[in-house]
């Protein structure tokens, strides 16, 4: 096993490389250098691309809904005003999830390697965990493909997001009062495929923007018997696979439109910024939950949900 100091050193090295990549991206985009790609007039500016990356990275693995925050950010930044540009922005938002995916790959590389060895028949515990992970992914994939169009047509709005934020906040506070998050539970290695399947079914609720995939999977994992620490870890790893599949699907279907609309520089900046922000966010959440209450996320959801309703009511959005 990698020691704590060497692990922190490795993470710092990766974050440093990411910042270097961001800096190079900004240099490439500098018109003074004459290297920028010629883009349509509705192109996404570099600073807006960076903001999307920050929002994606900070919120993807916290139980506060990254999709909801990104939809709100899109409205605040006033991008995607035409049907064509809105579709490109939505695809861009999904594509920069790659940064968050890489963050989990770096932070949980030992666990992912263990599962890979299990699939190759070299690690019995890794094999069991990989089987549980596959069992959790299947229902989400099936339901997601079946309901994707309905969700985009009916739930991708700030009213549904605000309602989900408030409902999720109330649920967190109720559950936290029962001390369910603080009870002892099983290790991740003890999770069965049957219980993982239930977690996957519950994860499908996160198709509703504002619900939060992290929230429902952590709660579900705790309810099926995992400790909070194991539940958080499984949620992150399940998110790694789920987000990777969703991102690949999006890039295959609309990836060319993202490049045609924004070129290569702004997506790269968004990806790199999302990676750095996600590393910080994941480490914050793990350290926070080891010492403090889950309730902070419930209060945050209530505040942002009520604020969104007020801003919608006064016509800000």
Chain segment 158-174, per-residue pLDDT in tens: 999 999 999 999 999 99
Reference 54, options 204, 308, 277, 283; nearest CA is 277
Q: Among 164, 161, 148, 137, which Cα is nearest to 244's?
A: 137
For residues 217-224, average pLDDT: 95
The share of the chain scoring above pLDDT 90, in percent, equals 61
Q: What is the pLDDT of residue 56?
A: 96
Six-digit token pair at 47? 């600073």
- 241 touches 133 (CB < 8 A): yes
pLDDT at 87 over 50: yes
Nearest Cα neighbor of 104 from 96, 112, 93 is 112
> How many domains does the chain fold into?
1
Q: What is the pLDDT of residue 184?
A: 81
Among 6-10, 220-224, 301-305, the range scoring the smallest mean pLDDT is 6-10
Q: What is the pLDDT of residues 116-156, one digit of tens each?
A: 999 999 999 999 999 999 999 999 999 998 998 898 888 88
Structure confidence at residue 260 as a pLDDT band (50, 70, 90):
confident
Q: Which residues pair with 226 in a beta bridge?
A: 186
Range of the domain at 59: 4-313
User: Is the pLDDT confidence value at 213 over 80?
Assistant: yes
Which has the closest alpha carbon to 265: 53, 94, 84? 53
Burial call 113-135: b when 16+ CB within 10 Å, e when fewer: ebbebbeeeebeebbbbbbbbbb
pLDDT band at 202 (very low <50, low <70, confident <90, very high): very high
What is the model's pTM?
A: 0.85
Q: Which tokens go with 28?
A: 């490439």
Whole-number mean pLDDT of the chain? 86
Q: From CA 181, how far away is CA 223, in angstroms rounded?
A: 9
CA–CA dist 253, 179 (Å, integer): 44
Instruction: From 225, 219, 216, select the one nearest 195 (Cα to Cα).
Output: 225
């Amino acid at each position: 096993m990698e020691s704590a100091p060497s692990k922190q050193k490795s993470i710092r090295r990766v974050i440093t490389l990411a910042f270097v990549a961001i800096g190079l991206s900004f240099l490439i985009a500098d018109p003074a250098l004459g290297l920028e790609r010629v883009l349509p007039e509705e192109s996404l500016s570099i600073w807006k691309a960076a903001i999307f990356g920050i929002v994606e990275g900070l919120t993807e693995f916290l139980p506060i809904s990254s999709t909801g925050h990104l939809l709100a950010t899109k409205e605040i930044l006033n991008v995607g005003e035409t049907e064509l540009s809105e579709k490109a922005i939505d695809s861009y938002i999904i594509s920069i999830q790659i940064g968050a995916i890489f963050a989990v790959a770096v932070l949980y590389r030992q666990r992912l390697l263990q599962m890979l060895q299990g699939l190759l028949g070299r690690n019995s515990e890794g094999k069991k965990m990989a089987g549980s992970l596959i069992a959790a992914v299947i229902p989400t994939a099936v339901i997601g493909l079946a309901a994707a169009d309905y969700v985009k047509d009916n739930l991708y709005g700030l009213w549904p997001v605000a309602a989900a934020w408030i409902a999720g906040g109330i649920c967190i506070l109720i559950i936290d009062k029962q001390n369910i998050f603080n009870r002892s539970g099983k290790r991740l290695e003890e999770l069965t495929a049957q219980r993982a399947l239930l977690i996957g079914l519950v994860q499908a609720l996160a198709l509703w923007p504002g619900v939060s995939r992290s929230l429902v999977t952590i709660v579900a994992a705790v309810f099926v018997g995992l400790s909070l620490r194991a539940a958080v870890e499984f949620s992150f790893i399940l998110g790694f696979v789920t987000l990777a599949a969703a991102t690949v699907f999006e890039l295959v279907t609309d990836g060319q439109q993202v490049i045609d609309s924004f070129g290569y520089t702004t997506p790269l900046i968004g990806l790199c910024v999302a990676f750095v922000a996600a590393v910080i966010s994941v480490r914050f959440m793990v350290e926070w939950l080891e010492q403090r209450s889950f309730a902070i996320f419930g209060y945050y959801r209530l505040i942002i949900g009520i604020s969104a309703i007020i801003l919608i009511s006064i016509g800000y959005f």
